[in-house]
Amino acid sequence: MIKLLIKNGIVIDARSNISEKLDVLIENGKIKKLSKKIPLKKDDDIEVIDAKGKWIIPGIVDMHAHTREPGGERSETIESASKAAAAGGVTSILAMPNTNPSTDSAEIIIKLIALAKKKAIINVFFSGAISAKREGLKLSAIKNMHRAGIKAITDDGSAIMDENLLHQALKLSKQLNMSLLEHCEDSHISAGGVLNKGKVSARLKVPSIAREAEIFIVLRDILAAAYIRAPLHIQHASCKESIELLRCAKKSGICVTAEVCPHHFMLTDEDAASLNTNFKMNPPLREKKDITALKKGLKDGTIDVIASDHAPHPKSEKKKSFIKAPFGIIGLETMLALVISELVLKKIISKKRMVELLCLNPATIMGLKSKGSLMPGMDADICIVDPLKKITVPRKFVSKSCNSPFIGRKLSGWPVLTIVSGKVVYRR
C-alpha cells in the first residue's frame, strides 16, 4: 500500500471551506484523512513530506490545453504536455480537439485515452469536436464520443458560426449533461486580424480584430443556451462587455459558465506593440479597461474558471512575422505563479477563491466528481505551493515549446511538489 503523509502545511480547499494548518494522509491514491496532527506509527511504511510554510491545494484542473497530438508533435505531445503540467502543479487537463486529425470520432478518442494512459504522468481528459473535422458544417459523432469518455464538446480554434448547428449541439449537450465550450469569435468580423482593434493596431497599421467578434458570439450563445436550457461554457473571455453579458446572464439564472486566461488579465495590446510574436494569441491582448473588468469578474464570481489555453508552437513558426506567425502561447508551467503574483498576493482574490477558480469549478464543469477538492475520499491529486518562492521565468521550459510572453518576468508563488493519485510526479 502506498502511503504519504504531508505535514505542517496550510490546507486550502474551496469545497470544504478550509484554510488552515492540517496534516494530510494519503492511502491508495486517495485522500484518507485531514487532521490537526496525524501521528506517525513506528511500523508505518510511509513517506513523510514536510510542507512547513507551504500551501497544500488540490491539483489544478486546466480545462483548456492544446496537447498537439496527433499531428503537431513537433511542438508538443501528450507526454510532454503532461510533464509541463506536472511542473505547473496541474494534475488534470482537458485537451482541445484542434489536432490533425481533429478529435471528432469515438475511434480517435479511444486511441488517445489509451495513449494518455501509457505516456502521461497526469490525468489527460479529452474534448470532442462539435462538428465533423471541425469544419462547422455538420455534427460529429458526439454521442459515440461521449460513450468513449469525452468530458466536453468544443470546436475550439473556431466558433460554431452556423446557428442551426449550435442549437443542435446545445440540445445534445443538454441531453448528455456535458458542457458545450465555445471559442467566441465571429470569423466574419475577425478575418485577417492579428491584434486587438484599437490605438496600437492603428499606430502600427496591422490588421485588427474588433472586440465585437467576441461579444457577438457571447451574446448569441447566451441567448441560445437560455432558450435550450443547455450548459454553455465561454472559453477565454477577454472583453469587458463579455464579462458584463455573463454577469447579466447569471443574474437571470441562465446556465452559463466562463473562463479567463492569465495573459488576458496580465497584459494589454501595448505589450504586443513590439510585435514580438510571443504576444500574439487569440483572442488578442485587449486594453486596460478589459483587465479591470476581468479582475472584477474573477473577484465577484462572474468568472468561474482560470485556464491556461496552453498553445505550444515550434520556434520556426513563431519566428515568422507578426502577421504570419500562428496564434498562441504556452501557459501550463506559469499559470499558478501568475495567479498568485497578480491576484492573490495583490489581494484581488483570496486563496480559497483561487482554488475555486483553478481546481473546484473546472472539475465540476467537466463532471470530475473526485477531483478539485482535498476532502477525504477524493483522488489524491495535490499541488504543494511555496507562496514566497520567487523565480524569474526562464527561456527553457519543460514543454517542448517556449513561446511565452512571460520569459524574464519575476513571479512569486511556485509549485514545489505535484502529486497525482498519491504518487509524486514532480519536485522542484
Contacts with Zn ion by CB under 5 A lie at 156, 183
Whichever of 68 and 83 has its CB closer to Zn ion, that residue is 68
- Residue with smaller CB distance to Zn ion, 83 or 318: 318
Neighbours of 203 (CB within 10 A): 9
- By beta-carbon proximity to Zn ion, the closer residue of 90 and 355 is 90
What does each C-alpha distance from 144 to 138, 194, 376 come to in angstroms?
15, 36, 33
Cα maximum dimension of the chain:
71
3-state secondary structure of 388: strand
Shortest CB 157 distance to Zn ion, Å: 6
Of 365, 397, 362, 396, which Cα lies nearest the Cα of 381?
A: 362
What would the DSSP string read from start to end of 142-155?
Answer: HHHHHHHT--EEE-
The grid cell for 120 is 502521461
H helical segments located in 359-405: 361-365
Q: Considering the complex, state which of residue 97 and residue 422 has its C-beta at the smaller distance from Zn ion.
A: 97
Nearer to Zn ion, 79 or 304 (CB): 304
CB 66 within 8 A of CB 98: yes
Q: How far apart are CA 347 and CA 316, in angstroms?
A: 40
What's the closest the beta carbon of residue 365 comes to Zn ion, in angstroms?
A: 16
State which residue, 277 or 421, has the beta carbon closest to Zn ion. 277
Q: Considering the complex, what minimum distance in angstroms separates the CB of residue 310 from Zn ion?
A: 11
The single-letter DSSP state of residue 79 is H
Residues 6+ apart with CB under 8 A from 73: none
Closest-by-Cβ residue to Zn ion is 183
- Taking the complex as a whole, the smallest distance from the CB of residue 98 to Zn ion amounts, in Å, to 8
Least CB distance to Zn ion at residue 235 (A):
5
Three cell numbers written together for 383: 499541488
Cβ nearer to Zn ion, comparing 13 with 290 = 290
Evaluate whether 408 touches 415 at the Cβ level (below 8 Å): no
Is the Cβ of residue 235 or residue 418 nearer to Zn ion in the bound state?
235
Residue 283: cis peptide before it, omega within 30 degrees of 0: yes
- Between CA 139 and CA 274 the distance in angstroms is 41
How many residues in the chain? 428
In the complex, least distance from residue 283 CB atom to Zn ion, rounded to whole angstroms: 8
Q: Are the C-beta atoms of 196 and 285 separated by less than 8 Å? A: yes
Report, in Å, the least distance between residue 308 CB and Zn ion: 12
Q: Report d(CA 90, CA 115) in Å as an integer.
A: 19
Q: Closest approach of Cβ 327 to Zn ion, in Å? A: 9
Alpha helices in 19-105 (DSSP H): 78-87
Alpha-carbon dihedral sign for residues 279, 280, 282, 285: positive
Sequence-separated (6 or more) residues with CB below 8 Å from residue 378: 30, 31, 58, 370, 371, 372
Cβ atoms of residues 267 and 241 within 8 Å = no
Q: Which residue in the list 269, 309, 381, 386 is annotated as catalytic?
A: 309
| Distance in angstroms (rounded) separating the CA atoms of residues 165 and 157 | 17
To the query of whether residue 309 is one of the catalytic residues in this protein, the response is yes
Helix, strand, coil percentages (3-state) for the chain, rounded to 5, are 35, 25, 45
Nearer to Zn ion, 123 or 154 (CB): 154
Tell me which residues are annotated as active site: 309
